[in-house]
Amino acid sequence: MSDPVSPPPVAQTVTLPWRRSLAARLRNYFLAGLLLTAPITLTLYAAWLVVDYVDTVVTGLIPEHYNPNTYLPFAVPGLGLIILVVVLTVIGFLTANFLGRMMVRLGERIVARLPIIRSFYSAVKQIFETVFSKQAQSFREVVLVEYPRKEMWALGLVIAKSAPEIQAKAPEELHSVFIPTMSFTSGYLVFMPRKDMTTLDMTVEECLKMVVSGGIVVPPVKKAIIGG
């Protein structure tokens, strides 16, 4: 009786150590190049989109015989942005004197007579005055709050004390807190007492970076916290 035939040995692929090392190095080089160039590229691309949009809108309002792009063989990048900055600066200079303030008040009186536009204009003006005012404290403080329920925490930006009507009907003094979301342009407005907020040392910029990145970009720990 003959012995059973043993199956042929299975060939095994052996990866040489130097090949594994080379692949790992190439992968690390690729990731390093990506980490270096991606933020710069995306930032420049976003800046170019803004400049191109402003150029398209502003230069489209300039008459052809005054537009430098009409006489040049190529379009001047950033021309519209420069013109916009100059125009806004001149407008600010003109409105700083007595005659300019009179013109502004006259324009506001005209707008105040328009039913729908006056509400929109008033709201936008108040927002800009609050945000750009040197004395404004809105969006200057980052806090940790329990939201949307107990034992669940979220980052918030303190806006100011709540409206007088809300204060009058609330059992205690409330503050308006804006809780941003990952979309950066949206969020939730909540009202809560000061005792329910924990003030953080991170800046508003660090807070927004952390929220938009989904918690990936974490601000550095302050020395005072480490020492304490």
Q: Is the pLDDT of residue 92 over 90?
A: no
Per-residue pLDDT, averaged over 193-222, amounts to: 87
From the CB of residue 151, how many other CB atoms can be counted at a distance below 10 Å? 5
> In terms of DSSP H, where are the helices of the chain?
17-61, 68-71, 79-94, 98-112, 115-132, 164-169, 204-212, 223-227
Q: Is the pLDDT of residue 134 over 60?
A: no
CB of 173 closer than 8 Å to CB of 185: no
What does R_g of the chain's alpha carbons equal in angstroms? 30
The number of angstroms, rounded, from the C-alpha of 101 to the middle of its chain's C-alpha atoms is 33
The span from the CA of 114 to the CA of 118, in Å, is 6
Query: In this predicted model, which residue has the larger pLDDT, 21 or 10?
Result: 21
The span from the CA of 31 to the CA of 25, in Å, is 10
Per-residue pLDDT, averaged over 33-54, amounts to: 86
pTM recorded for the entire structure: 0.56
The span from the CA of 82 to the CA of 55, in Å, is 9
The span from the CA of 131 to the CA of 165, in Å, is 22
Instruction: Please give the structure tokens belonging to residue 91.
Output: 């407008």
pLDDT of 31 reads 86
Per-residue pLDDT, averaged over 81-109, amounts to: 83
- What is the number of alpha carbons within 13 Å of residue 11 lying toward its C-beta? 2
Q: How many residues does the chain have?
A: 228
